[in-house]
Structure 1
Amino acid sequence: MPKETIVVVDDEPAARTAVARLLQERGYTVYALTGGQEAIDFASNTPFDVLLTDFRMPGGLDGLTTVRAVRRINPQVVAIIMTGHSSVDLAIESLKLGVHGFVVKPFTAFELIRNIEQTIAQQTLSRENIRMKALVDVFSTTQALLSANTEATQLPRLTLELAMNRVSATQAALLLLSPERENSLELEVVAERSTPEDDGGDLMLPVFLPVDGYTNQHSAQVEQIRLLGQRALDANITLLMIDGEEVVPGSPRMLSSTNKLSQAIVPLMAQGRQVGALVIEKSGADPNFTEADLQIAAILASQGAIAIDNSRLVHRLAKVEALHQADRLRSEFVAMVSHELRTPLTSIKGYATTLLRPDVQWNNQTGTEYLSIISEECDKLMQLIDNILEVSRIEAGALRIYPEPIQIYEVLDRAAMETRRRSPEVSLAVSYPPVNEIPYVMGDSQRIIQVLRNLIQNAIKYTPSDPRIAIDLDVISGDADQPNGMVRISVQDNGIGLTQENKDLIFERFYRVDTGSTRRTEGTGLGLAICRGIVEAHGGQIWVESEGRNKGSTFFFTLPVADIANQLDLD
């Protein structure tokens, strides 16, 4: 490993030559300079590691002034003073100005080499200790990025905030490759933070503007950042820009006191896949990135890339699973509809063919009975077709309702009367508060009857024997969302009950509880999906509660109370 580069500054030629020759013999690269100004000019153009300067140099800059000026250009330089006038005051003043070590004249070759090696070792250990503490802290911080509890939509913003905080950046931007379009960087999230010194200055990008907003207003800046991000990503390297010029990371230019604006463009890679690029910017009072800053940014970019890539993979898997689920439901629906169509059509065909037989003379009673059966089967077909069309309208957002103030208890009584007439074997109870305490509801009575009819038929269908159904109505006080209040209607049964999985899916179209070889009930699985569409179109909610299998179910839905006062004013 090559040794450090040392600049020796001394106005005495003999001393300067002797020290330079001694250091060269020990393997150091040495530049011998005659004065402080020459050292400052040299530091502006050439990187080096150690400044070894005489304290007193008559006719020019002294050693302390030279150290201060050189370290402003390159703060990483280790500064050692050679002096024949050692004192406590000089030591204190030197430390304040950034001097790391002293060599008291006259000194031996051994003393000089030992002092230089010890000073370099101490500074290296100090810097490494600071860097490692920072990196350990960053590793613990980035656990939030990989946490399963972090929402995918928050990952870009979280990556930016962590990067800005850990390197004290004034701005940050995240460029992500679109999952749908390869070889295209798109700015997805923009974050900006300004220190008081930066107020009024040019921003890398505007604050949290949508893509179209800042693309139109700052197309030149955005395009430049995109190109830099693409370069960093394609080469898988960190790019460093200082005042608009590309600088090699590690160069003394990184820490120059004349810098005004620094940008680091860090690639985001995950398992060899390109994800995007992280752009961080520093300006104002502290415009420089250290090497530790760049390492921290690389760690954050790596962790952020993994987290974002993982969330995208999960999203893709979910989409694939959803497509499989949709295909399965579609296949089941086709099979179900085929069965539901074939059954009544078979009956209609059979009875119609029987009535048309030329060799049999049917009496009026038998003919009427057969025609009644045909009529009932036609009603089933019409109901099936209506349900399919209803679901299509709901999904297209074209479901029409005609809300008006209605007495909801009258709708409940009507639904109960229909059920008792059609299914006299069912035990049905309806309860509600005194009618003078029930407010008007803003609803379409025909649609609400449709919801109640579906829920009641569903309760009967999934109760194997002795069905007992209870319909209840409660009035809920108003809140911020519904100042007039709501009414809550429940339909309770003593049927087969529901598992948690069933409760989560039961309002999805085509979903049925008893699918597969154990199916015992008829239906297309559209009734509850229609109920949900109608209730939500009224501004209400629908849900189900059940304690489990064979413990019955209770379906609830809410409807908004009508604002009668405003209605009367309008009338």
Structure 2
Amino acid sequence: MLDEEQMKEDTALILVVDDNEINRDLLVHRLARVGHKVVEAENGRAALEKLATHCIDIILLDIMMPEMSGFELLPMLKGDPQTQNIPVIVISSADDIDSVVKSIELGAEDYLPKPFNLPLLNARINASLARKRLYDKEQNRLQEIATLQKIDAELNATLDMKRVMEITLSWALRQVGGESGVMGTLAEDRLHVVTSQGYTYEIYEDSPFVLLDQLPAAQQALNAGELAYEAQTARAGLLARTQSQIVLPIYRDTAVLALLMLESTQANQWGPDHLAFLQRLGNHAAIALANAQLVEAMRVANQAKSEFVSFVSHELKIPMTSIKGYADLLLSGNFGPINEAQTSFLDTIRNNVNRMSRLVTDLTDVSRLESGQLHLETQPIQLADVIAEVASSTRGQIEEKQQTLVLTVPDNLPDVWADRTRLAQILTNLVSNAYKYTPENGRITIFAEEMNSVNEDAEVQPVVHVSVADTGLGIKDDEQKAIFSKFFRGSDDEALQSPGTGLGLNITKNLVELHDGRIWFESKYREGTTFHFIIPVANGHQG
């Protein structure tokens, strides 16, 4: 026994075009006996009118007709995108070879002479119908692929959970129909609505939750772990007068990421093709939802980390300030004399507190940079003054190692657009690295110049170029790519003898880029390193 879908496959809506009423009646009667439906037209012009109002599967066409013959109609059918793929079987008393060839050349799929043989006609109709069904399925599949590609492009353009659900729900309703739909996440026995369409009073903005027992297909979908379709809900559902309901759980591995529900006031609203499309849409949405979920989890984790670092930094600074303060007081000698060993111990305490203070400051900066909470207070700044300030503050350490500091800074440098404190931090980090990793009697050079640079928009932009060069240890070739990574210190035993956290260059790079600048370097192992950065001049800044 044929099932319902197979019966639909074997049934066609056939347009019979013949000026002879007896012939039309004969065809209508015989086609109806084998399960087909028939639309009649007495000539080519009437056939065009029928085609405009009916979805025709096959055309049975006579050739010799008044007003518009079959030969005149065929080119019009094949020239119209709406009708060019409808199979045409010519049935005509003109059985000469020229008429047959002309019919085929004009686009007819087959040709039968009158009087026709019914079994042969049925066989030709079935063959044409099978080819058309196959072609239609192929076209529908290609169209669906193109649609899913568009959906993927929209889904891939966002990592926001709500936006992903809005896109998914919108395309679901657009492609398969229905009066309303909702999409959200599961919260125990309720659906937390993230986005919806087509509802008025059914969902409350201040309490966007729906009990799952209000949704006839929900429990079935969750229990089975797949799409559930209630073709006749007897008005049970979220939407008033609901007759059909689909619930699709969207999974990633074994976890339910979201629930998609569509409702209609029409019973039997959706067919197998609609359900298959929704399954494929759900698979595509699952990837985007999982990505959005990961991004949200990372955001929450970063926020928690930032809050933790901020809290710990605050709590550590208070005792560190006290420890350093008391160490300085004891070293001052105002509270009694101290011997050489005590002085050494106090210097060790103070140096380690200073080191811990720098570490806490670096961790705080990294946390603020990662969370986007570090903001610059930019204004026109005279770079030469900042360089002089940094040189003065680091000169003591440089002279301790008997190194030479050379400044090559012209007097006429233009102002740069920068945050003075952060610009000083950039230079201090680079100069500190230079003297830390340069042996005694080495040389450190700070150079600055005005120049033009081409930005990402291929526009020439005036900038100030600064370099900090040293004659130090240099960086191994295979480690240069990682030099700006957090906590990276390399594998050079001699370099590792100097204290450090591996955060300074990462912070420096981020600070330069916050200034709309760029940083790079050249290094030769055991010969030295030169760090460069550029920063826009104040009068050429576009921000």
TM-score normalised over the length of structure 1: 0.52
Per-residue deviation, 1:457: 1.8
Per-residue deviation, 1:525: 4.4
* 2:379 aligned with 1:408: no
Q: Describe the SS at the equivalent of 1:423.
A: helix
Partner of 1:116 in structure 2? Answer: 122
Per-residue deviation, 1:435: 1.2
% identity of equivalent residues:
16
Partner of 1:521 in structure 2? Answer: 498
Per-residue deviation, 1:121: 2.5
Partner of 1:381 in structure 2? Answer: 353
Q: 1:557 to 1:467 in 2, by over 3 A?
A: same
Show CA shifts across 1:429-469 (max 9, x none).
43435313x12345565654443233222233345776543
Q: 1:397 to 1:307 in 2, by over 3 A?
A: closer
**Most deviating of 384-393 and 265-274:** 265-274
Supply the distance in 1 between the matched residues of 2:39 and 2:378 (Cα, whole angstroms).
90
* 2:464 aligned with 1:487: yes
CA contact (8 A) 1:146 1:303 kept: no
Q: Describe the SS at the equivalent of 2:473.
A: coil
* 2:396 aligned with 1:421: yes
Partner of 1:459 in structure 2? Answer: 434
Supply the distance in 2 between the matched residues of 1:435 and 1:302 (Cα, whole angstroms).
70
CA contact (8 A) 2:446 2:467 kept: yes
Partner of 2:485 in structure 1? Answer: 505
Partner of 2:55 in structure 1? Answer: 75
Show CA shifts across 1:322-381 (max 9, x none).
969x98xx99xx9xx99xx99x989x99xx89x9xxxxxx9x7x7367437625632541
Q: Describe the SS at the equivalent of 2:500.
A: coil
Show CA shifts across 1:245-303 (max 9, x none).
9999xxxxxxxxxxxxxxx9996956686656699xxxxxxxxx999xx95x8777655
CA contact (8 A) 1:266 1:301 kept: no
What is the number of equivalent residue pairs in this alignment? 439
Q: Describe the SS at the equivalent of 1:490.
A: strand
Partner of 1:475 in structure 2? Answer: 450
Q: 1:448 to 1:163 in 2, by over 3 A?
A: closer
Letter in 1 for 2:350: C
Q: 1:128 to 1:268 in 2, by over 3 A?
A: farther
Supply the distance in 1 between the matched residues of 2:156 and 2:504 (Cα, whole angstroms).
37
Per-residue deviation, 1:306: 3.6
Q: 1:113 to 1:270 in 2, by over 3 A?
A: farther
Q: Describe the SS at the equivalent of 2:55.
A: coil
Q: Describe the SS at the equivalent of 2:444.
A: strand
Partner of 1:439 in structure 2? Answer: 414
Per-residue deviation, 1:492: 3.0
Q: Describe the SS at the equivalent of 1:470.
A: strand
Q: 1:428 to 1:416 in 2, by over 3 A?
A: farther
Q: Describe the SS at the equivalent of 2:194.
A: strand
After TM superposition, the structure 1 = structure 2 runs for residues 175-190 of structure 1, keeping only pairs within 5 Å, are 177=184, 183-184=191-192, 186-187=194-195
Letter in 2 for 1:454: N
Q: Describe the SS at the equivalent of 1:453.
A: helix
Supply the distance in 1 between the matched residues of 2:445 and 2:185 (Cα, whole angstroms).
53
Q: Describe the SS at the equivalent of 1:378.
A: helix
Letter in 2 for 1:367: N
Supply the distance in 1 between the matched residues of 2:452 and 2:12 (Cα, whole angstroms).
82
Q: 1:562 to 1:373 in 2, by over 3 A?
A: farther
Q: 1:419 to 1:313 in 2, by over 3 A?
A: same
CA contact (8 A) 1:268 1:301 kept: no
Per-residue deviation, 1:118: 1.3
Partner of 2:38 in structure 1? Answer: 51
CA contact (8 A) 1:185 1:276 kept: no
Show CA shifts across 1:28-51 (max 9, x none).
34xxxxxxxxxxxxxxxxxxx332
Q: Describe the SS at the equivalent of 1:435.
A: coil
Supply the distance in 2 between the matched residues of 1:221 and 1:315 (Cα, whole angstroms).
28
Which of 138, 154, 163 is 1:132 aligned to?
Answer: 138
Supply the distance in 1 between the matched residues of 2:187 and 2:433 (Cα, whole angstroms).
43
Letter in 2 for 1:452: L
Supply the distance in 2 between the matched residues of 1:64 and 1:120 (Cα, whole angstroms).
24
Partner of 1:555 in structure 2? Answer: 531
Letter in 2 for 1:423: I
Show CA shifts across 1:381-426 (max 9, x none).
1463365257547828887987665542243234334434323235
Q: Describe the SS at the equivalent of 1:471.
A: strand
Show CA shifts across 1:483-523 (max 9, x none).
994323222344342736524524xxxx2424999954323
Partner of 2:97 in structure 1? Answer: none
Supply the distance in 2 between the matched residues of 1:439 and 1:483 (Cα, whole angstroms).
16
Letter in 2 for 1:371: T
TM-score normalised over the length of structure 2: 0.54
After TM superposition, the structure 1 = structure 2 runs for residues 362-381 of structure 1, keeping only pairs within 5 Å, are 367=339, 370-371=342-343, 374-375=346-347, 377-378=349-350, 380-381=352-353
* 2:519 aligned with 1:543: yes
Supply the distance in 1 between the matched residues of 2:32 and 2:87 (Cα, whole angstroms).
20
CA contact (8 A) 1:496 1:552 kept: yes
Q: Describe the SS at the equivalent of 1:419.
A: helix
After TM superposition, the structure 1 = structure 2 runs for residues 40-439 of structure 1, keeping only pairs within 5 Å, are 49-51=36-38, 74-76=54-56, 78=58, 80=60, 90-92=69-71, 100-101=88-89, 111-136=117-142, 139=145, 153=159, 177=184, 183-184=191-192, 186-187=194-195, 219=200, 235-236=227-228, 295=273, 305-314=282-291, 367=339, 370-371=342-343, 374-375=346-347, 377-378=349-350, 380-382=352-354, 384-385=356-357, 388=360, 392=364, 395=368, 406-424=381-399, 425=401, 427-436=403-412, 438-439=413-414
CA contact (8 A) 1:173 1:187 kept: no
Supply the distance in 2 between the matched residues of 1:17 and 1:449 (Cα, whole angstroms).
94
Tell me the C-alpha RMSD between the 2 structures. Answer: 6.7
Per-residue deviation, 1:308: 3.9
Supply the distance in 2 between the matched residues of 1:99 and 1:433 (Cα, whole angstroms).
84
Letter in 1 for 2:499: E
Supply the distance in 2 between the matched residues of 1:219 and 1:469 (Cα, whole angstroms).
72
CA contact (8 A) 1:442 1:560 kept: yes
Unaligned 5+ residue runs, structure 1?
Answer: 30-48, 56-61, 189-203, 206-217, 249-263, 280-288, 356-361, 565-571
Supply the distance in 2 between the matched residues of 1:68 and 1:447 (Cα, whole angstroms).
77
Per-residue deviation, 1:75: 1.2
Supply the distance in 1 between the matched residues of 2:12 and 2:503 (Cα, whole angstroms).
83
Supply the distance in 1 between the matched residues of 2:249 and 2:525 (Cα, whole angstroms).
50
Show CA shifts across 1:531-559 (max 9, x none).
4676577x354634356876754434444
Supply the distance in 2 between the matched residues of 1:406 and 1:268 (Cα, whole angstroms).
58
Supply the distance in 2 between the matched residues of 1:71 and 1:220 (Cα, whole angstroms).
43
Per-residue deviation, 1:120: 3.6
Unaligned 5+ residue runs, structure 2?
Answer: 78-82, 94-112, 222-226, 232-239, 263-268
